[in-house]
Amino acid sequence: MTKDTEVKTKPPKKKGFPFGKIILLIFVLFILVAVLQYFRIPQKIGLIKSPADNLFTMTPDSEKALIIMDNLRAAGLNTRGVEVYVLPVAGTDHNLAMIVLDASKGFSFSGYYGTDPVKDFLTVISQAQGEGINRAAVTYYDEEGRQLVAATVPTDAIVAYSQGKLTDNQLMEKVDVGTDDLWAFIGVIKDQLK
């Protein structure tokens, strides 16, 4: 080929993805990460250790759990379908009192004899602080054994509340809630309220 030769060539093809496709890909990845995170897939397949897996490795304290169960009975709660686990926090002197209300094992709010279940529960938990419990959590299972909702609050907030140092509003600011099965939960609540 000489320099005089005219070479007719087609314009070179653009390499790589067009900008629009890149944006679309990022968007899809964004959604994918959100879905994986929402359903806690990395934790479920063992890629990431959950906070609970890191902190609650120790043997539950059955003696402290018995004391709390006795206090719940004394407060008027029908303890059928109720379980208490006291979970020591690894590397600290802290303990979490986890109270399970399991409708599939017979728990029912209608078996409650007090006037305000939340306040009575708070009283029991404030007593538990003397047992080294620094945080309480309640979780509810429906009649099919599905875990619907969990709520947690530090015991020092409960004690402050019982001493009149916190208002209802201030106490609720300290309460955190989580649930895994929203639709099942809504269904149960609807049934309860019919």
Partner 1 sequence: MRRTVLILSILIIGLMPFLSACDSGETQELIYWAKLWAIVHDITDADGNPNYGTVTRFAIGEAFGLGTTGDEEGDAAIDAARTLNNIRQAEDEADQGWEALNGGKHIQEGVLPHFNKAIDMRPDDWSYRNGRGIANLEDMDNPDGAKAAREDFDKANEIAKRSGKPEEYLRMLKNREQALARLVAIKNDDHAVPAKEVYEEQSSTYNELYKLTGDKIYLLLKQQADTNLAQGYYWTRGTDN
CB 125 within 8 A of CB 97: yes
Q: Which of 130, 134, 50, 43 is nearest to 88 (CA)?
A: 134
User: In this structure, what DSSP letter does residue 129 have?
Assistant: G
Q: Which stretch binds partner 1 (CB under 8 A): 1-9, 71-79, 108-116, 123-131?
A: 108-116
Give the residue with the Cβ less far from partner 1, 33 or 74.
33
Q: Can you list the alpha helix ranges (DSSP code H) found in 89-153?
A: 117-128
* Whole-number Å distance between alpha carbons of 102 and 106: 7
Kindly identify the residues of this chain, within the stretch 4-43, that bind partner 1 according to CB under 8 A: 33-34, 37-38, 40
Give the residue with the Cβ less far from partner 1, 22 or 62.
62
179 contributes a contact to partner 1 by CB under 8 A: yes
Q: Give the residue, chosen from 78, 79, 123, 147, that forms a contact with partner 1 under the rule CB under 8 A.
A: 147
Q: Give the pair of three-digit tokens for residue 175.
A: 């309460």
Is residue 103 left, alpha or beta, with left meaning phi > 0 and alpha meaning psi from -120 to 50?
alpha
CB 67 within 8 A of CB 131: yes
159 contributes a contact to partner 1 by CB under 8 A: no
47 contributes a contact to partner 1 by CB under 8 A: no
State the residues that interact with partner 1 by CB under 8 A. Answer: 33-34, 37-38, 40, 50-63, 83, 85, 87-91, 93-94, 96, 98, 100, 109-110, 112, 115-119, 134-135, 137, 139, 147, 149-150, 152, 154, 168-169, 172-173, 175-180, 182, 185-186, 189-190, 192-193
